[in-house]
Amino acid sequence: MKKLQYILIVFTMLFSSKEILAQKDSIALQRKARKLLRQGNDLYQQEKFTDASVAYRKALGNNSNYDKAAYNMGNALYQSKNFKEAIPQYELTAKTAKDKFTKAEAFHNIGNAMMESKNYQGAVDAYKNALRNNPNDDETRYNLAVAQKLLDKQNQQNKDDKNKDNKDNKDKDKQDKDDKNKDKNKDGDDKDKDKKDDKDGDKDQKKNPKNNKEEDKKDQQKPKPQQGKMTPEQIKQLLESLNNEEKKTQKKMNAKKAKGKKIKQEKDW
């Protein structure tokens, strides 16, 4: 029994020692975080916003719930025009801050960063949250009115652009439809033209055979010389030629007879 009590006492002492050490470590980290926060504030006053944001980030590395470091880091990023990166830091402050005024300031700065990013809907929501925590903040109320006006203008512009796109699409569809109908009508005209050409061709074919028939008929009526027969003119010429040849032959024969006849010669003996 005594031995068990002794073990419990020892265990309690060890646990307490670890808890004490953890607390000491936590306190040390918090002190280090505060030191880094001060360094960041000094750099921020010197307008060295990038170096200041590095110091604040280190402070958060030692104490992740250090809302002052998160808030100041958001300011440093905002001054460096890193608006989108600043927003999460302000959101952390708005979440961890214990008093409403600090929450209201965080939401106000979120609205400012949203405005710079042209996220007007986000800015309107942020300013409204700021006014919920501090309804008497006239600056936030003024910013809310400006953000709402810009949001309405943006929505109207988007609506006009959408209507323009719809109109352009309708005009394009109508043009495509007209072009399609035009092409269709053109194809129809081409078909009608081809059909007409074919019809005219048929007429010519019907007409041409008739002409060919008439020409053939005329050719049949015209006398043609037949193979193996002579015309009267040719016969006449042939007869004349034969008669002339006969005369020439008779003359030659007579000449031969006269020359062959002895000539009676008278001599004195």
- How many structural domains comprise the chain? 2
Judge if 30 and 81 occupy the same domain: yes
- In 3D space, the residue among 80, 120, 72, 114 whose CA is nearest the CA of residue 97 turns out to be 72
CB contact at 8 A, 128 and 111: no
Judge if 71 and 86 occupy the same domain: yes
pLDDT tens readout for residues 130-158: 999 999 999 999 999 999 999 999 999 98
7 in a structural domain: no
- In 3D space, the residue among 71, 35, 73 whose CA is nearest the CA of residue 56 turns out to be 73
Judge if 89 and 29 occupy the same domain: yes
3-class secondary structure for 23-76? HHHHHHHHHHHHHHHHHHHHHHHCCCHHHHHHHHHHHHHHCCCCHHHHHHHHHH
Phi, psi (deg, nearest 5) at residue 230: -115, 150
113 in a structural domain: yes
Which CATH number is 79's domain given?
1.25.40.10
Q: Report, as an integer, the average pLDDT of 116-128.
A: 96
Judge if 50 and 87 occupy the same domain: yes
> What domain range is 60 assigned to?
23-96
pTM exceeds 0.85: no
pLDDT of residue 176: 78
pLDDT tens readout for residues 227-244: 444 566 766 776 777 677
pLDDT tens readout for residues 24-65: 668 888 899 999 999 999 999 999 999 999 999 999 999 988
More confident residue, 97 or 208: 97
**pLDDT above 90 as % of the chain:** 43
Residue 55 and residue 31: Cα distance in Å, rounded?
14
Residue 144 and residue 111: Cα distance in Å, rounded?
8
